[in-house]
Structures are given as structure tokens and as C-alpha cells.
């Protein structure tokens, strides 16, 4: 998550002034001073593997202050290029917009478009917001002028659509949880099934030959590959440009362990997001932790002690209570919808 100026002290004590591109070419243990994600200097040690994965050893968790309201079951969060947070306040049936200064605004919808348990929220390349209106089994688009439209639906209709993501071409991808499928709605309005037979199982394969079991989160990277939080299979899946579905992390059994690829364990991985250098971040809901999947397949814990609670602080001692959605800003800071705590948390 290095996006700004960096000073690195090597094992000989010499200071190196390098760019992120150079960091990816290094290996070994380094002491790093990072300027970014708020402007403060952060000192940390990084173990840079020869594969190019940067593995942070600690992170700081804070709770975002929101003026003038109380959240009730926040299940979605997204951040736009201006740093504004879009929050699905699910049990209050509303979408909140919170500025970096904590100032609150509401997305206003007409009575005929009233929300019903909204969950996933995403921001498109033009700044439009997309909402999985889960209780109404539909996807809404709200453009920057405030105009609202209902996106085309598959037949049969969505069944508990949860997470969604938008790529650079304005194509929308939906984790259609109750149908155990991943759906695409193109920018032209064409609806297709990207992957999933509909059978609740764990099977790799191409497109509709693959099986999911209540997938809840979807992310898209710069190459157009999709990453799926396959919640009830307790794994993370990848769908490449050819439609091939593979399991890239998680043993398939609920549990907790860091490790490489399928040796790691999750307990209801729920939300998922990718950064600009190939790392994937997952809300491990029932483990009350935030996990990182590096490009080399290593799964590590970014934040969360595993104890259910509300505590800010360093990653290893911070506490969450059923974290669901996750988003990332241009500085590499993570935002987590901490559902059980009715809070939004920030990880730097």
C-alpha cells in the first residue's frame, strides 16, 4: 500500500531514496518510513520477498467520526476520488455520504425507489454510485446529478445481491449471493452470467461449470480479473479474462490460519478489494480480522486480534465485530464497514 514518498534504511544502515517501482525489485528485510495516507510519517518493517509482494507487519486502526447520525448495520462502504465515503446504512435503508471532515449528506431517492436493506456500494469511473438494493433484489445507479436508474436484471431476477464492483469501462459485476452466481451488467445494459452454475458447492472450472456457495464480495483489478469472497466456502476465488475460476486462497474449511494459498483459512470471507499493485484485502467476518492476499499467494493478517469488540490501535490489538465490506482510497488506506459495531473503521 505504498503510494507516496518513501525512505528505506537497508541492513547496512544506509538510507535509500527510491520509488515504488524500485521497491518491487528489492528483497530482504527493510526499515521503511512512509509518507502518505494522511501525510504523517509511519515507521514500519517490511519483508520484501523476491516475488515482489510487500508484506506489512503492522497497521493502525481508527474509527471514523460521523457527525449527526447513528449507523445501523452498515454493510457496504466505498470511497471516491475526492475521499468521500459512501456507506450502505442497511437497517436504516439509506446511503450516507461522508466527507473527509465527517460532514454528513444523504442520497435522496423518490418514494417509489425507497431502499430496502441496501448492502454493496461501488463508485464508477465517472463518479456515479451503484447500490445493491438487496431487499428489493435490484441494482441502482445514481449519477453525479442525482438521477437514479434501475439497471437491467437477469432472468430469473437477482436473489440477495450483495457485493458489487465496477471496472474502468463502467461494467458492473455483482455477487448474486442467493443464486450462487457472478453476474455482469455491461455499460450497454447487457446482462450475462460470468461464472457459477447456481449449485451451492465448491468447484473450479470455466464460467458456468464452476460452483460457488453464497458469494458475497467481488473486486476487479486493473487487468479486468475478478476476485470473489466465496463466503460459505470460506475461500477466495479468481475469475480470469477467459472465465476460468480458480481457488486462490482458503482451505475450504472454516478456521483461522495465515499461510500460502489454500493452506490459509478463513471464516466467512465477506468483502474484498484490490489495490494498484496486486494485493487483495478481505474482511474475514467471523474471525473479526482483515486479511491480505499478496500477489505471491501469501495470506497475512493486517488488523484484528480475533476478539470481537471495538478497539482502535495497532493492527494486532485492534478489535472488530463482524466486519463486512471493505474499500481502498488512492493513498492505500482501507475503510471497513464494521457491521456489529455500527461503525466505519480506517486502516493506515
- Render pLDDT for 47-87 as a digit per residue (tens, 0 to 9): 443 344 444 435 899 999 988 899 999 999 999 999 999 99
Q: What is the mean pLDDT of the chain?
A: 87
User: How far is it, in rounded angstroms, from Cα 292 to Cα 281?
Assistant: 5
Task: Give the model's pLDDT for residue 42.
Answer: 41
More confident residue, 145 or 22: 145
Q: What is the DSSP letter of 119?
A: E
Mean pLDDT of 137-152: 96
Please tell me the pTM assigned to this model: 0.85
Residues 11-49 have pLDDT tens digits of: 334 443 333 333 333 334 333 444 445 544 444 434 443
> What cell numbers appear for 143 in the block?
449519477
Residue 107 to residue 92: CA distance in whole angstroms: 13
Max CA pair span of the chain: 66
Residue 241, Cβ density class (10 Å: 0-12 exposed, 13-18 middle, ≥19 buried): exposed
Please give the Cα distance from 197 to 206 (Å, whole number): 10
Instruction: Pull the grid cell for residue 149.
Output: 436508474
Q: How far apart, in whole angstroms, are the C-alpha atoms of residue 282 and residue 270? A: 7
Using CA atoms, how far apart are residues 37 and 135, in angstroms rounded to an integer? 35
- H-helix segments, the chain: 20-23
Q: Residue 23 has what DSSP assignment? A: H
Euclidean distance between CA atoms 253 and 268, whole angstroms: 10
State how far the Cα of 267 lies from the Cα of 283, in Å rounded to an integer.
10
Q: To 10 degrees, the CA torsion angle through 253, 259, 262, 266?
A: 30
CB 174 within 8 A of CB 182: yes
Residue with cell 451451492: 200
Amino acid at each position: 500500500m505504498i503510494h507516496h514518498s518513501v525512505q528505506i534504511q537497508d541492513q547496512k544502515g544506509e538510507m535509500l531514496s527510491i520509488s515504488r517501482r524500485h521497491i518491487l525489485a528489492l528483497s530482504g528485510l527493510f526499515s521503511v518510513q512512509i509518507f502518505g495516507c494522511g501525510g504523517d510519517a509511519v515507521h514500519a518493517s517490511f519483508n520484501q520477498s523476491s516475488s515482489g509482494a510487500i508484506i506489512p507487519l503492522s497497521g493502525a486502526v481508527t474509527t471514523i467520526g460521523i457527525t449527526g447520525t447513528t449507523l445501523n448495520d452498515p454493510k457496504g462502504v466505498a470511497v471516491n476520488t475526492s475521499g468521500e465515503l459512501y456507506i450502505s446504512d442497511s437497517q436504516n435503508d439509506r446511503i450516507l455520504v461522508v466527507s473527509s471532515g465527517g460532514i454528513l449528506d444523504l442520497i435522496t431517492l423518490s418514494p417509489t425507489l425507497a431502499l430496502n436493506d441496501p448492502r454493496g456500494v461501488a463508485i464508477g469511473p465517472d463518479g456515479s454510485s451503484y447500490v445493491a438494493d438487496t431487499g428489493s433484489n435490484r441494482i441502482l445507479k445514481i449519477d453525479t446529478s442525482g438521477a437514479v436508474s434501475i439497471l437491467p436484471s437477469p432472468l430469473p431476477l437477482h436473489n440477495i445481491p450483495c457485493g458489487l464492483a465496477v471496472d474502468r469501462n463502467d461494467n458492473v459485476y455483482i455477487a448474486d449471493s442467493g443464486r450462487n452466481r457472478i453476474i455482469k451488467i455491461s455499460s450497454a445494459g447487457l446482462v450475462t452470467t460470468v461464472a457459477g452454475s447456481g449449485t451451492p458447492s465448491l468447484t473450479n472450472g470455466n464460467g458456468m461449470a464452476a460452483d460457488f456457495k453464497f458469494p458475497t464480495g467481488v473486486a476487479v483489478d486493473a487487468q479486468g480479473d475478478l476476485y470473489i469472497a466465496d463466503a460459505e466456502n470460506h475461500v477466495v476465488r479468481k475469475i480470469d479474462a477467459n472465465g476460468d475460476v480458480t481457488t486462490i486462497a482458503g482451505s475450504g474449511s472454516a478456521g483461522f490460519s495465515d499461510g500460502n494459498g489454500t493452506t490459509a483459512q478463513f471464516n466467512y470471507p465477506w468483502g474484498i478489494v484490490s489495490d494498484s499493485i496486486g494485493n487483495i484485502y478481505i474482511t474475514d467476518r467471523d474471525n473479526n480480522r482483515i486479511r491480505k492476499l499478496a500477489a505471491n499467494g501469501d495470506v497475512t493478517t493486517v488488523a484484528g486480534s480475533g476478539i470481537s469488540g471495538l478497539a482502535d490501535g495497532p493492527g494486532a490489538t485492534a478489535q472488530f465485530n463482524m466486519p463486512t465490506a471493505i474499500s481502498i482510497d488512492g493513498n492505500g488506506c482501507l475503510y471497513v464497514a464494521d457491521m456489529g459495531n455500527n461503525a466505519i473503521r480506517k486502516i493506515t
